[in-house]
Structure 1
């Protein structure tokens, strides 16, 4: 019902949009003249800035420069336009590095010359014709930038939030991990573990534990034989499962991590996996097998903390390297420019923070994992936020325009409830707000739920709920997480 009212109300704005588009076409010539004036003015401001070393105005200058009308990438002779940055090929070139012998825009120069020996490169300003002027800016150009450019007031807060959020962002799967994940998924697909265990005949706990042990050993043996035939043969002979504990922990951690990253996948296989892992947590089973098949999931935070590179998450470039790029309200050239900036930011972070303990591929993997989380939030949480905005913009709880009431009546148009306009307004607002918060903390809620389900100290109880026999757990960690308090 709510979506129907939105559609009705939006139809009334079509006429207004057509008037706006006609007005914009009439002012096209005026905008062209303004861009030409802006181009000459921005060049003068940049030259004056570099001559007088008025670095405190650099941020405002950069903002004005990037509003200049984009020029072509090549000139009439087929060579690159000297007015453009040699790195991104989109921004105007305002500096030339003496050592690199390349022209840069401010953003690319700051990114490339931020660390190492490059931070000591000397720069020369460029005039309107793309030639060098006599003035130079010696020393570390980036170190002389004002606080408004190097750091924003909320930088520490943003970095702290990212560090906290990275504790619940699973790492992307590597190619080898994907192969192992398919092996486990295929094993669970053909397994009849839940069909054999969740039946009413196992009233006696002793017989149920015996059957659990048989089924668990069968799955563990089958997985290892599929992974390594020779090791599987040795396991068949000696039955020493504890020797392969790390292998089993890795094999069963990968699909758990994959499921969080892809909630729509492994619908039946994931359920079997959780039932299986819950049974391996039973104290009687662990005492008999001397095996623990569960380990914490690998996250962005755990990998960077293990390698001592948490400083990566505090770098302001991470926001550019992990942002979601959309085409909404942008031209094709603007989208391509955003993609180039994002790729350049990823390459810069990988080059800056890579070392013998953390490779460039692992850094890129962490950044892509954070980007996956941002994409999930954009596709699932942001629509709820947008609907809340529409609800507050087009409707009021205490009044409504004729024909735009939110009243619903049970039995009419498929409605199951009878709500007044005010009650339906708050019902929609509360529902959308609840789902927005759930989706915003989706990964963290999933982590807490798994910790409760796979806890050795909080084992499940098999109970008849009236709709069948189910494993019942007490969710201590989820309840005391205080996400919504």
Structure 2
């Protein structure tokens, strides 16, 4: 089966050209050729430090830029406006092909996009856009009266204001997937309809181009400010990577001061943006790496307590695997997730461009309510590249399960669903790793009865083993062994956590759920 963590990076190789933004969705996700037989023992920081320069630069350049003070005001304005908006409730309504009895007469509306008042969908969208526009103006007026007067009295400035505001919202979501949960999708639907139905909502220039402002990434920011040389500086890695035993805070600060003095005042924001991205990647990839490492170290040998055998029909399992087969199946699934986590900034960028590409959508009842079904060939292609690379590195004994990536269908209606699903991987994995690890460390005397008959190590193994078996057994609605079905099975396991014998151990580990650090 080989080393499951070998050659996992999918960053670009060769001379980097960060964020050549004409067509982000056409960029290929490539892999570097880091040959490291000891990657199991590496921390994520060490992995980044050993990454080849070209791959490191490419990885750095896709990170979203930190918000400036003015951009934070725009974000507050946008969030407040979206909080009170009911755009989706008013626009995404089912077809009105129904008969009705009204004042003693029968009427039958055959048009797909009519309400009781026979307003077309385009008319409703324009009214909702106008309402949002007025809300944004009112909120901005409360922040800066004089600036707002200038904006509303000049069409070009108001268009720039809208473009900047929506770009800030999209960029902030990429950097913080756990935030804007109730408003991000609504914002994207508003922007999607602006392209298809009401381009005048943004402005005259937008009517011609139908292009929203591109996400400001580190690579684009460096290019705009003539700072491309910073990526080739020897101290760049020291300045952006977290400190460790070898690198003190003093060395890191010294490297940052040198770069700031060499490239100007904008340098600090760029360095902090890269550091933010690496901190997020370290958290996301780190927990998957830890689970994969524990799987290899503790479940390779089949014993009474580490047996991963699953049988069709047992606890809802839709698959039948021997211990060896399930071990490989889980290892490959976790490694694929690791690869996806590594490439999340780039996948977010492609998703943003794809959803706002102007491709039409259909309103479909998928079983999860009315959803906008839209094809996403670029996001699907990027995912297949990641899958292909994972299979190439792991398939010495053959890929286990199906290789189907659902996109633009009943299971994954659009690319926003896709990116949201995979953004939640660390939220699933982290509580399990935390609980299985903390069982060893927590010496609370109130828990000692739990360990009188069953040792701490056995409880930890039991928690892991149950997830490895029934979090990857093809269960759950539309589960199975396909790429998305593996994640569906994991969510199905999580949904029944209260029923498991070890649930109290989760509660002692500050468990609050598998939905991440929730904020609106």
Tell me which residue corresponds to 1:400.
302
Query: 1:394 & 1:463 partners in 2: Cα distance?
Result: 45
Within the alignment, does 1:445 sit opposite 2:343 as a pair? no
- Which secondary structure does the structure 2 equivalent of 1:463 belong to? strand
Give unmatched runs, 5+ long, in structure 1.
1-153
Tell me which residue corresponds to 1:177.
71
Query: Given the two structures, how large is their TM-score scaled by the length of structure 2?
Result: 0.54
- Which secondary structure does the structure 1 equivalent of 2:52 belong to? helix
Question: In 2 relative to 1, CA 273–291 (structure 1 residues): closer, same or farther, beyond 3 Å?
Answer: farther
CA-to-aligned-CA distance 1:96-134 (integer Å, 9 cap, x gap): xxxxxxxxxxxxxxxxxxxxxxxxxxxxxxxxxxxxxxx
Query: 2:228 & 2:251 partners in 1: Cα distance?
Result: 23
Question: In 2 relative to 1, CA 233–367 (structure 1 residues): closer, same or farther, beyond 3 Å?
Answer: closer
Within the alignment, does 1:348 sit opposite 2:261 as a pair? no
CA-to-aligned-CA distance 1:67-112 (integer Å, 9 cap, x gap): xxxxxxxxxxxxxxxxxxxxxxxxxxxxxxxxxxxxxxxxxxxxxx
CA-to-aligned-CA distance 1:202-261 (integer Å, 9 cap, x gap): 62377000110110111112212321357867998x8x8565111100011111111111
Within the alignment, does 1:316 sit opposite 2:217 as a pair? no
- Work out which of the residue numbers 134, 137, 144 in structure 2 matches 1:224: 137
Tell me which residue corresponds to 1:34.
none
Deviation at 1:413, TM superposition (A): 7.6
Give unmatched runs, 5+ long, in structure 2.
1-47, 97-111, 389-520
Question: In 2 relative to 1, CA 190–411 (structure 1 residues): closer, same or farther, beyond 3 Å?
Answer: same
- Work out which of the residue numbers 262, 270, 276 in structure 1 matches 2:184: 270
Deviation at 1:480, TM superposition (A): 3.3
Deviation at 1:388, TM superposition (A): 2.4
Q: How does 1:63-142 map to 2 (within 5 A)?
A: none
Tell me which residue corresponds to 2:113.
204
Query: 1:349 & 1:477 partners in 2: Cα distance?
Result: 36
Tell me which residue corresponds to 1:374.
278
Tell me which residue corresponds to 2:291.
387
Question: In 2 relative to 1, CA 465–405 (structure 1 residues): closer, same or farther, beyond 3 Å?
Answer: closer
Aligned residues: 312
Query: Given the two structures, how large is their TM-score scaled by the length of structure 1?
Result: 0.58
Within the alignment, does 1:430 sit opposite 2:332 as a pair? yes
Question: RMSD of the alignment, in Å?
Answer: 3.1
- Work out which of the residue numbers 237, 247, 267 in structure 2 matches 1:363: 267
Tell me which residue corresponds to 2:105.
none
- Which secondary structure does the structure 2 equivalent of 1:281 belong to? helix
Tell me which residue corresponds to 1:190.
84
Tell me which residue corresponds to 2:126.
213
- Work out which of the residue numbers 149, 155, 159 in structure 2 matches 1:245: 159
Within the alignment, does 1:473 sit opposite 2:374 as a pair? yes
CA contact (8 A) 1:221 1:232 kept: no
- Work out which of the residue numbers 249, 252, 256 in structure 1 matches 2:170: 256
Question: In 2 relative to 1, CA 431–405 (structure 1 residues): closer, same or farther, beyond 3 Å?
Answer: same
Deviation at 1:409, TM superposition (A): 4.9
Query: 2:366 & 2:336 partners in 1: Cα distance?
Result: 27
CA-to-aligned-CA distance 1:137-163 (integer Å, 9 cap, x gap): xxxxxxxxxxxxxxxxx9998332233
Question: In 2 relative to 1, CA 320–243 (structure 1 residues): closer, same or farther, beyond 3 Å?
Answer: closer
Query: 1:480 & 1:407 partners in 2: Cα distance?
Result: 33
- Work out which of the residue numbers 193, 201, 206 in structure 2 matches 1:279: 193
Query: 2:59 & 2:91 partners in 1: Cα distance?
Result: 38
CA contact (8 A) 1:451 1:477 kept: no
Question: In 2 relative to 1, CA 251–437 (structure 1 residues): closer, same or farther, beyond 3 Å?
Answer: same
Query: 2:345 & 2:280 partners in 1: Cα distance?
Result: 10
Tell me which residue corresponds to 2:7.
none
CA-to-aligned-CA distance 1:172-218 (integer Å, 9 cap, x gap): 11222112101110110111111111112562377000110110111
CA contact (8 A) 1:170 1:260 kept: yes
